[in-house]
Every structure is written in C-alpha cells, then in structure tokens.
C-alpha cells in the first residue's frame, strides 16, 4: 500500500492543514467557490499532493451536498447536465491514473502550472457566451476535459465554472448545477484514488476532522460577504495562490 510510504502527519502538519481548510472554506463561504483550489495547493507545499486532495473529501462532499439541493432547480439541473457529469467520470479515471503514476515533482509542476493559469484567468476575468445549441456536444467535452484535470489535481471548478457562466445560468441555477457536478466528481475521484492505492483510509478518515474548520470557515465567509471589499479580497486570495503555485513550481524544478 502506498499509504505506508506517506510521511506521518505530525501535529504541526495537521494544524497547517486545518488552517488551509479554514482559508479555503472562508473563500467558498464568501464567493461560493474555491475550497479545493485554495486549500489543496497550500497543503501541497508541505504534504504529498494525493494526501492534500484526499483530506478534502469529506469537506467538499458535504459542502456540495448542502448546496446541491434546491426546491426548484435540483431536478432540472440534473436532467440538463447529466451528460457532462457522466463524461467527467471517464476523465477522472484517466486523471487519477496519472496521479498514481507520475513522480511527486511532476505532480507539483502540474498543480503549480494549473493554479497559475486559473489565477491568471481570474485576474483577466474573461467573458464567454455560448448558444444553447452547442450544449449537447460541448458539455460532455467540457466534462471529460475537466475530469482529467480534476483527476490529477482536484481542480474541477475553473473550467466548469467558465462553461456554466457562458451558458448564462442564473445564480441559484449555477450554484445548484456546479454543486451537483462536484458531488459526482468528488465521489468518483476518491473511489479512483483508493482503487489505484494512491491514498488509504487514513487520509479519508482524517478528512472527517476537517469538517469542523470547513463549516466554521464557510459560516464566517457568509457572514462577512457583504462587508468586505470583494475586489480586494479576491486579489489577496489570488496573490496567495500565485505564491503557492510559484513554490510548487520551485519544488518541481529544484526537487
């Protein structure tokens, strides 16, 4: 089992992981997105990439389960986006295989590059518009591609979010749709990681301990959502992500 090859998680590592999850949950509570994209690269600076991903299993699962149920939108969004979610399963299996076989320095390089790209896209704030006629064939392609990226990094969000926003979904439709997709993706990813023996049950059990900081961070983020300068807050978070990505790239190059 690769579980035995992972370094022991001492109290300092657990404390740093809790801090990373608190930050990611705070971002999610404030913006509605960003828990894995914020927490995973921060944790990957002092933990193996697979461990960082697995420790977010319970927080990501529960937060998206909570957000995916809406009295008006859950069923329509399930009917509309099931082809995308289904296609993402195949991409995740491929991506998770890469997670199981690539060297740590390569994983650091992949994650650092993806974080840098997504942070740059957020700075540029590109706007796209898609006609509904393209959805039947483009949706599964987006799902498959996002699945590959998510399988190797857990970052399903940015490409999915760009696609859903381009379709012009309303706020509640967007949150419900992306949460449903993330719900499926999170379960498949962690089953794949267990199947490939990238992680063991230890990491998934530890993820249960991350539920408390997750709900604390999300609650705090929701409370101050209207009180903080959104632009300044986003810039600070993006700055942190860029620093994290730079350190991951450093570890990839000077391993």
Give the separation between CA 136 and CA 114, rounded to whole angstroms.
Answer: 27
Model confidence pLDDT, tens digit, residues 84-130? 999 999 999 999 999 999 888 898 899 889 888 887 877 776 677 88
Give the separation between CA 189 and CA 186, rounded to whole angstroms.
Answer: 5
Q: Residue 8 — pLDDT band, cuts 50, 70, 90?
A: low
| Domain boundary assignment for the chain | 9-253
- Please compute the mean of the pLDDT values over residues 40-49 and round it to a whole number: 89
Which of 71-80, 196-205, 224-233 is the most confident on average?
71-80
Model confidence at 71: pLDDT above 80: yes
According to DSSP, residue 241 is labeled: H
CB contact burial 219-243 (16+ within 10 A = b; e otherwise): eebeeeeeeeeeeebbeebbebbbe
Model confidence pLDDT, tens digit, residues 190-223? 999 999 988 888 888 889 999 999 999 988 987 8
Give the separation between CA 40 and CA 99, rounded to whole angstroms.
Answer: 14
Beta strands in the chain (DSSP E): none
Mean pLDDT computed over every residue of the chain: 86
Positive/negative CA dihedral, 105, 208, 36, 62: positive
In contact, 150 and 84? CB cutoff 8 Å: no
């Amino acid at each position: 089992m690769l579980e035995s090859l992972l370094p022991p998680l001492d109290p300092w590592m657990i404390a740093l992981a809790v801090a990373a999850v608190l930050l990611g949950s705070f971002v999610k509570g404030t913006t509605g997105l960003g828990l894995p994209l914020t927490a995973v690269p921060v944790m990957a600076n002092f933990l193996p990439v697979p461990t960082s991903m697995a420790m977010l299993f319970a927080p990501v699962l529960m937060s998206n389960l909570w957000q995916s149920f809406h009295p008006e939108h859950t069923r329509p969004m399930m009917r509309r986006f099931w082809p995308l979610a289904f296609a993402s399963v195949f991409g995740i299996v491929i991506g998770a295989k890469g997670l199981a076989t690539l060297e740590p320095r390569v994983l650091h390089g992949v994650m650092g590059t993806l974080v840098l790209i997504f942070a740059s896209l957020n700075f540029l704030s590109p706007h796209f518009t898609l006609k509904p006629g393209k959805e039947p064939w483009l949706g599964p392609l987006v799902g498959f591609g996002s699945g590959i990226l998510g399988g190797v990094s857990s970052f399903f969000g940015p490409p999915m979010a760009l696609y859903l926003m381009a379709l012009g979904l309303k706020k509640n439709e967007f949150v419900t749709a992306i949460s449903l997709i993330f719900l499926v993706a999170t379960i498949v990813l962690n089953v794949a990681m267990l199947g490939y023996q990238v992680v063991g049950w230890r990491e998934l059990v530890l993820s249960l301990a991350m539920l408390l900081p997750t709900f604390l961070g999300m609650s705090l983020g929701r409370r101050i959502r209207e009180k903080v300068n959104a632009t300044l807050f986003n810039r600070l978070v993006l700055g942190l992500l860029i620093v994290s990505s730079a350190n991951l790239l450093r570890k990839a190059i000077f391993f």
